[in-house]
Amino acid sequence: MRNVILAGNWKMNETPAQARRLLEQLRESLPKTSHEVVIFPPYLVLEHAAKAGFVKVGAQNCHFEEKGAFTGELSLPMLREVGAACVLVGHSERRQYFAETDETVRKKIAAALAQDVTPFLCVGETLPQREAGGYLEFVTGQLEAALAGLDGEAVKRTVVAYEPVWAIGTGVTATAEQAQEVCAALRGWLADRYGKEVAQEVSILYGGSMNAKNAAELLKKPDIDGGLIGGASLKPEEFASIVKTANEVKGGAR
Ligand code: 13P
């Protein structure tokens, strides 16, 4: 069976000193769980967080080349060496503000898999795309472009996060039904392309204004295997409460 994953994307928040404090608060608040808990802190505390050892740690971005003249970038071998087990790829903020394209997303996914770092592929439509009605085709198209050239075994090692752009940081959450519809469509597309067995093993997360209040409803849905949490992951008690909710809704308390 696929993993239930609760992931916190800290984005560009917390100085190193603040991030270390947040990590300690998180250590004290998190309930015991058999689910996977991951944080994506700023690079500067990635190694520290990985050494703390009580959560999985990932990078918020990477370059697809192993090394070279790419000023300001970090490669997957560098990130892996300091303890990054995962990497976010194609987050809508990177697509929107940093010119991340389907092609760079595809290269990053392939590079992460080659380095044994789990890519968390983010897809999601904007509000105009949702209102125009073609959002299922749009998000499955993003998936198709990102996974081009990979076989089923590689796809199994990828995590997908559905993050509707209109729900990110806005306080407007997709309803559980809206999120389930898209997560089911993504899994359906995976089943058509790679077979049912592969589709059943890929964890598909929801992200976008997820919090302690709405987590239960979202996590009850059969195709939502966890959350990619922004703002609420900066509040240790709230993030811990979401993990507790996942224990209750999906099983997993230990
Ligand atoms: P918020 O939870 O702040 O809406 O952010 C979601 C997100 O972008 C996680 O990657």
The dihedral region occupied by 68, where left means phi > 0, alpha psi between -120 and 50, and beta the remainder, is left
> What Rg, from alpha-carbon coordinates, does the chain have?
17
pLDDT of 172: 84
The dihedral region occupied by 196, where left means phi > 0, alpha psi between -120 and 50, and beta the remainder, is alpha
d(CA 192, CA 182): 15
d(CA 151, CA 175): 33
φ and ψ of 159, to 5 deg: -105, 140
Would you say residue 254 has pLDDT above 80? no
pLDDT in tens, 74-129: 999 999 999 999 999 999 999 999 999 999 999 999 999 999 999 999 999 999 99
Contact 245, 213 (CB under 8 A): no
Cα(195) to centroid(ligand 1), Å: 30
pLDDT in tens, 159-207: 999 999 999 988 888 899 999 999 999 999 999 999 999 999 999 999 9
234 lines ligand 1 (CB under 6 A): no
Mutate to test the pocket of ligand 1, among 11, 122, 233 (most ligand atoms within 8 A of CB): 11
Percent of the chain with pLDDT over 90: 95
* Tokens coding 100: 């991340």
- Provide the CA 1 distance to its chain's centre, in angstroms: 18
DSSP letter for 42, please.
Answer: -
Mutate to test the pocket of ligand 1, among 5, 86, 218, 229 (most ligand atoms within 8 A of CB): 229
The CA dihedral of 96, 72, 207, 110, to the nearest 10 degrees, is 100
252 lines ligand 1 (CB under 6 A): no
Homologous superfamily (CATH) for 5-250: Aldolase class I (3.20.20.70)
H-assigned helices in the chain: 16-29, 46-52, 76-81, 92-97, 102-114, 127-132, 135-147, 152-156, 176-194, 196-201, 215-219, 236-250
Beta bridge partner(s), residue 8: 39, 229
Place of tokens 């003249």: 69
Closest CA to 178 of 241, 127, 229: 127
* Average pLDDT of every residue of the chain: 97
In the chain, where the domains are located: 5-250
pLDDT of 253: 79
Q: At what angle do helices 135-147 and 102-114 cross, to 10 degrees?
A: 50
pLDDT in tens, 129-162: 999 999 999 999 999 999 999 999 999 999 999 9
pLDDT in tens, 6-33: 999 999 999 999 999 999 999 999 999 9
Q: Which amino acid is at 145?
A: A
* Tokens coding 14: 């917390």
96 lines ligand 1 (CB under 6 A): no
